[in-house]
Structure 1
Amino acid sequence: MLLTVLALASVGLSSPVDAQRPAGGQHVVAKAVAKKDPRKTRGLFVDPRMPAANHGAPYKKALGTKAQALWIIPEAYATMRVRSVVRAYTSRALKARKTPMLTVYGIPGRDCGGQSSSGALKNATQYRAWIRQIAAGLKQQRALVILEPDALPLFSGSGCASPPAGWVAMLRFASKTLSKSGAWVYLDAGHSNWTPYDNRPTLLKQAGVAYDRGISTNVSNFRPTGDEQRYAATMLAGLRKLGVRGKHYVVDTSRNGAAPSSDGYDVLNPLWARVGKAPRLVFKGAFDGTLWVKHPGESDGQVNGGSSSGTWCDMLADRLLTGSSSESSCPE
């Protein structure tokens, strides 16, 4: 669960199913066009500006050579400049003939009543304006977008005493607006251990997943990939029962290389966590592939030797890679 805001230092289009599907011969043409989408043949963009690529040769080789998402958060990229930031990043990716990957993480109340850092969005009006600018930056850029990690399961469950008013409508607006830009949007669905989730397909539908490419799971968490694939299959089956078909999913494998603790609640810089399978798009049925959404080596907060949330720490990277480190905690 993303319990704290990321530090500022970190740096096709799927319409509602069936409602807009062409009939007859047009459907065949549409399928032929879809097969030519460059995201199905290009690799993911490895951004040389990511943290691991700039903290020494061992980390650059082990982690910095892997594609990771650029996190778009309002504290770092306010409404007035977020469009240009997004376009600059996606343009660099496309110049390299690779697919850009971004995480949009800015919905009001994402900290569930905690003290948001300066610059956080306060209401739906501000959020919609911010999302519109992100969509403008994404237009025709053929990007992948992970939309609002944790928001839907957190706001709909017992983990958030005061979810923001209108959160479902905000997610629906973001799903529709970002998907219309041409991005493949994956609305975050939490993970397999975030229970109960019987009503989650209904909430995903209400939050606009029909506009999206599909869902993301395990973002910044540690659940085994097999568990996540079964969980995603359950979500997609539930959506099909609700008339939402043809959805896909991706799994964050950045830190799921070891079996998690038995209770499932040790999720802040856990001592047992290891780096997981490398990011790779595979397009096998509904499974689009593995991604590194969380940046391995960045702290979850001042727990288990970690530093402030979102900051890089050599010790945490060493622990993920080898299970040991010469340091017992991150320097502040």
Structure 2
Amino acid sequence: MTVRRPLPGPHRTGALAAVLALAAGLGAGCARQPDTELRPDPPAVTYAPPKHPFRDATLYIDRDTAAARWQAANAADWLKPITERPQARWLNGPIDVAKVPDLASRARERHQLPVFVAYYIPNRGCANFKEGAPDARAYQAYIGKLVAALGRTRSVIVMEPDGIVADCFSAERGELIANATKRLAAAGHAVYLDAGHSRWRPSGEVAERLLRAGIQYAEGFAVNVSNRQTTEDSYRWGVELSDLVGGREFVIDTSRNGAGPPPDDPKRDDEWCNPKQQALGEPPRPVTDRPGLAALLWIKGPGESDGKCGSERTYLFTPTQARSLIVNAGWVSARERADAKVARPAPVVDVG
């Protein structure tokens, strides 16, 4: 999975005029009022009524995560701070979608809200179509299978991490994501478009891209997916971005932002990848006391490596990283941190 590197830059400046121009272009032919009337123009973009899926919701706890499987195989009770909390299920292609009906059925039986991540956009890693769907038709088929697999289970869908803020974003990609968002929303699901993080692109530029990608059909957007920006900075930036896209609500990925972003090191450019100091962020839950923020979620699976970099030699779940996340998390109980601290799991190494 592509991991977002923190990139410096301004937030709101630069692209706000483009946002307003694009919004006008997306309007449904709203006529300007006569100059003699002192009334504002009607909104150029019509946003779908919000579903507010997290209100009074209980998040689904997935018992089939990589961390849970490792815990069961190694009698590792010290992993409970991770495995006993809700996490998103990533759907990296049609094979993963095939497993959705069973999960959806369990969630419906428990009256819990599942969170999925759609992650199959063509040219996913901007690497000449080496990742993701082979073409637009295959992606549309993937979305159709996802709608069918979810059936009557109302779900939250985080759409395409990095897909909108990536360098290879195009009008064609925006249209493809917009169509997928519209289909999922029409089926009753709450879609949150990935918007990157607070240190990647200016909020005005991201807002313009969100409009091209169908934010008007979505419930809102997701911030900080797979990244480590603080919850406070993510919230501030999310409110700023929401103001540019019709006041849509947002969610924040707190799966590993408890220690904040790693410091910039001029001697190396990969400190973002499996940094030495990291911690679990706030536990996932619906949020009611921060205007605009719908929920804190664990979207990135805690303990999953960023790649073969830093102290890791795998792209898989690694118990050594999970242990570090737990030990350094201030909200985890002293007993749980002590149990994790004495655990000495061997690192996982990919074969080949």
- What's the TM-score, normalizing by structure 2? 0.75
Unaligned runs of 5+ in 2: 5-27, 29-42, 329-340
Code of the aligned partner of 1:319: S
Whether the 8 Å contact between 2:79 and 2:322 is mirrored in structure 1 is no
Structure 1 position 60, deviation (Å): 3.7
Task: Please give the alpha-carbon distance, in whole angstroms, between the structure 1 residues aligned to 2:80 and 2:121.
Answer: 34
2:194 corresponds to 1:195: no
Task: Please give the alpha-carbon distance, in whole angstroms, between the structure 1 residues aligned to 2:179 and 2:272.
Answer: 30
Structure 1 position 213, deviation (Å): 0.6
Q: Which residue of 1 aligns with 2:7?
A: none
Code of the aligned partner of 1:252: D
2:251 corresponds to 1:250: yes
Map residues 80-229 of structure 1 onto 2, 5 A cutoff: 82=97, 84-113=98-127, 116=130, 120-155=132-167, 160=168, 166-229=172-235
2:343 corresponds to 1:330: no
Aligned length: 290
Which of the two has higher C-alpha Rg? 2
Q: 1:230 and 1:128, CA in 2 relative to 1: closer, same or farther beyond 3 A? A: same
Q: Which residue of 2 aligns with 1:261?
A: 262
Q: 1:165 and 1:206, CA in 2 relative to 1: closer, same or farther beyond 3 A? A: closer
Q: Which residue of 2 aligns with 1:242?
A: none
Q: 1:154 and 1:329, CA in 2 relative to 1: closer, same or farther beyond 3 A? A: same
Q: Deviation per CA, 1:77-130: give whole Å up to 9, x if none.
A: 3xxxx3x4222211111111111110110001111116736xx41111111111
2:305 corresponds to 1:291: no
- What's the TM-score, normalizing by structure 1? 0.79
Whether the 8 Å contact between 2:191 and 2:219 is mirrored in structure 1 is yes
Structure 1 position 328, deviation (Å): 8.4
Whether the 8 Å contact between 1:307 and 1:313 is mirrored in structure 2 is no
Code of the aligned partner of 2:264: D
Q: 1:42 and 1:238, CA in 2 relative to 1: closer, same or farther beyond 3 A? A: closer
Task: Please give the alpha-carbon distance, in whole angstroms, between the structure 2 residues aligned to 1:58 and 1:194.
Answer: 37
Q: Which residue of 2 aligns with 1:8?
A: none
Unaligned runs of 5+ in 1: 5-15, 22-29, 240-244
Which runs of structure 1 show a deviation greater than 6 angstroms over 4 or more consecutive aligned residues? none
Task: Please give the alpha-carbon distance, in whole angstroms, between the structure 2 residues aligned to 1:95 and 1:59.
Answer: 28
Q: Percent identity?
A: 30
Whether the 8 Å contact between 2:231 and 2:257 is mirrored in structure 1 is yes
3-state SS, counterpart of residue 187 of structure 1: strand
Q: Which residue of 2 aligns with 1:312?
A: 317
Q: Deviation per CA, 1:230-251: give whole Å up to 9, x if none.
A: 1111111112xxxxx2411000
Q: 1:47 and 1:148, CA in 2 relative to 1: closer, same or farther beyond 3 A? A: same
Code of the aligned partner of 2:249: H
Q: Which residue of 2 aligns with 1:25?
A: none
Whether the 8 Å contact between 1:101 and 1:144 is mirrored in structure 2 is yes
3-state SS, counterpart of residue 302 of structure 2: coil
3-state SS, counterpart of residue 278 of structure 2: coil
Structure 1 position 270, deviation (Å): 1.1
Task: Please give the alpha-carbon distance, in whole angstroms, between the structure 1 residues aligned to 2:283 and 2:116.
Answer: 17
Task: Please give the alpha-carbon distance, in whole angstroms, between the structure 2 residues aligned to 1:142 and 1:283.
Answer: 21
Code of the aligned partner of 2:325: L
Q: Deviation per CA, 1:238-265: give whole Å up to 9, x if none.
A: 12xxxxx241100000000003223296
Whether the 8 Å contact between 1:138 and 1:181 is mirrored in structure 2 is no
Task: Please give the alpha-carbon distance, in whole angstroms, between the structure 1 residues aligned to 2:82 and 2:251.
Answer: 20
3-state SS, counterpart of residue 238 of structure 1: coil
Q: 1:42 and 1:132, CA in 2 relative to 1: closer, same or farther beyond 3 A? A: same
Task: Please give the alpha-carbon distance, in whole angstroms, between the structure 1 residues aligned to 2:190 and 2:155.
Answer: 6
Structure 1 position 165, deviation (Å): 7.2
CA RMSD of aligned residues (A): 2.7
Code of the aligned partner of 1:219: V
